[in-house]
Structure 1
Amino acid sequence: MNGFEIYKKMDDDVQAIYRSRLLTEILLSLNDGSKKLSQLREITGSTSQALIPKLRKLEADHLIETKGREYFLTPAGKIVASGIADSFVTFWTINKFKHFWLRHYLEEIPSPLLKEIGCLYESEILKNRGMEILNIYNNQLKMIKEADHIYGISSVVTKGDTDSISERVKEGVPVELIVPLHVAEELKRSPYLKKIEALKDYENFKLMVMDEDIKVGLIVTDKRLSLNLYKKEGIEYDISTGLFSFDSKAIEWGEMLFWYCKGKADFIKFQ
């Protein structure tokens, strides 16, 4: 049974929640912790007369329960409320950055990560504009400079990035990089070859290659996330626009993307 069939089969219960502002607000409020009736009045801006029938319905559906004078989510209610909260965060994230998603190639982001894209809601889009033609690049170099560890997925390689990474490795910062085959081939040529070879004896440096193209550019550190994508056609890497975040959930999302790609990569053995 697919999602549409389940929706039609359970339309009365499911639609009732999404149709009713109060039912939704009660569940989302209790998802943050127990509440008294007076607190629910304040949060929802509604009267007791309006709230009580909704609370009784949620109790009858075994989604909430009362202890003393407070309302709590039941275990089933926590699942439902969490799902509702996640759906709203996902929709809000898609809408907040809709031009970024519409103009970029998302097909290389694994489906499980796309489902968790709401983790990026506390992010911002930075662009290269006017005199700030290196805004994205400079922010990424700043990230690398301030990091205590660095995970990266590189769809392109530049001399500045290589120098910055090399410096941090030599300072003892753990660095793990994943590159596609075409970048790995480029690293075998000047001016990159000597820089990479100089790092071969550093145990805190790991370089890995994937035998398929990677349509993302990712830097995730202990402090920040940077995400760049290919333009919509999936041919040209977009260096002019990027998504950045200091939020812990966004950083965790970036780490999950890195670990997913790492599971498909092979370590480069230095000769």
Structure 2
Amino acid sequence: MKKPLLDVVFASDKRKNILLLLQDGPREMEELLKSIDTSRQALLPQIKILEDHYLISRSDDSYDLTSVGKLVFDEIFRLLSTIEVFDGNTDYWGSHNLDFIPPHLLKRIKEMGKCEQVKLSLTESYQLNQDVVETTFISENFFVITSFFHPDYPRVFHEMTSEKVTVNIIVHKDVFEKIQKDHREHFQKLIDGGYFKLYVYPEKMGFQVIAHNDYLLLLRLLTKEEEVDIKHMLCSNPEALEWATELFDHYRKDAAPVSKL
């Protein structure tokens, strides 16, 4: 009697790893043994189960995914990639608001890869993330969507644009009002310099800051109770940066560009 396919795939790490190893094409038995770090005697029964369920096929001493195996693997990979994003940080992701992410990007959240939760002390809580700041100075572009005004923004943005980093920033209308009231001249100079692009978003954002450069993505999210949290997430997967650019474009299409304050 055949096992349910879910059991075939997930009830054994060896079987799951075989499928993962075959994603890029056929592998010989010796390659599988070396990669999984096991013996032929231990691996052969697992291979037979995969063959009996038409997930892999054998040619001489080489194994490959069948058509069914490729379809199943695609779904497995999608699930495992999504789990990787949340694994180890489920408390953070589960307790914070993700409603600001449009459905088409939420479905692709696996592209963020494994992210690091950054925990700060109270004395560090309102400092800008130095890894993001430092890597921005060696980036061509810096993208920010923010619902609050950080007191270091005027200084840091001036330093970035002085190094010819293009700063693209979408601010909530409340932040824009503060810029107009307290920092009009400074931000007008930034805009006039050609390396600072400012947009105003009229609706509720639902997060503190989403920022990324050519190397890192930072997310400072609100809790589900809409409370500020000093912890934040830092992601470095290249696909995460492409994902973040699409998120920025999603908000920019409903934001008004500003050339005069």
> SS of the residue aligned with 1:177?
strand
TM-score (norm. length: structure 2): 0.83
Shift of the 132–207 alpha-carbon distance from structure 1 to 2, 3 Å rule, reads closer
What residue in structure 1 maps to residue 51 of structure 2?
56
Shift of the 21–171 alpha-carbon distance from structure 1 to 2, 3 Å rule, reads closer
**Deviation digits for residues 23-58 of structure 1, max 9, x if unmatched?**
423211212443112332341736354034224235
**Residue 255 (str. 1) matches residue 245 (str. 2):** yes
Deviates more, 1:154-163 or 1:131-140: 131-140
Deviates more, 1:43-52 or 1:118-127: 43-52
TM-score (norm. length: structure 1): 0.80
What residue in structure 2 maps to residue 195 of structure 1?
186
**Deviation digits for residues 145-203 of structure 1, max 9, x if unmatched?**
3433111111111231222112222332222111122222222111x211111123233
Match of 2:89 among 70, 94, 97: 97
What residue in structure 2 maps to residue 3 of structure 1?
none
Match of 2:214 among 208, 213, 222: 222
Matches within 5 A, 1:24-39: 24-39=16-31
**Residue 45 (str. 1) matches residue 38 (str. 2):** yes
Amino acid at match of 2:48: P
- Give yes or no for contact 2:140–2:165 (8 Å, CA) kept in 1: yes
State the shift of 1:139 in Å: 4.2
What residue in structure 2 maps to residue 207 of structure 1?
198
> SS of the residue aligned with 1:189?
helix
- Give yes or no for contact 1:113–1:257 (8 Å, CA) kept in 2: yes
**Deviation digits for residues 218-238 of structure 1, max 9, x if unmatched?**
11101211111112212x333
- C-alpha distance in structure 2 between counterparts of 1:252 and 1:33, whole Å: 27
Shift of the 131–153 alpha-carbon distance from structure 1 to 2, 3 Å rule, reads closer
- Give yes or no for contact 2:8–2:50 (8 Å, CA) kept in 1: no
Shift of the 78–210 alpha-carbon distance from structure 1 to 2, 3 Å rule, reads farther
- C-alpha distance in structure 1 between counterparts of 2:199 and 2:122, whole Å: 36
Amino acid at match of 1:267: P
Shift of the 40–130 alpha-carbon distance from structure 1 to 2, 3 Å rule, reads same
- C-alpha distance in structure 1 between counterparts of 2:238 and 2:248, whole Å: 15
Count of aligned pairs between the two proteins: 255
Shift of the 135–71 alpha-carbon distance from structure 1 to 2, 3 Å rule, reads farther
Matches within 5 A, 1:90-239: 90-129=82-121, 132-134=124-126, 136-190=128-182, 192-216=183-207, 217-234=209-226, 236-238=227-229
Amino acid at match of 2:155: D
State the shift of 1:81 in Å: 1.3
Shift of the 140–19 alpha-carbon distance from structure 1 to 2, 3 Å rule, reads closer
* Residue segments in structure 1 that go unaligned for 5+ positions in a row: 1-10
Match of 2:77 among 66, 80, 85: 85
Supply the RMSD in Å over aligned alpha carbons: 2.7
- Give yes or no for contact 2:26–2:62 (8 Å, CA) kept in 1: yes
- C-alpha distance in structure 2 between counterparts of 1:131 and 1:201, whole Å: 35
What residue in structure 2 maps to residue 73 of structure 1?
65
* Residue segments in structure 2 that go unaligned for 5+ positions in a row: none
- C-alpha distance in structure 1 between counterparts of 2:123 and 2:259, whole Å: 42
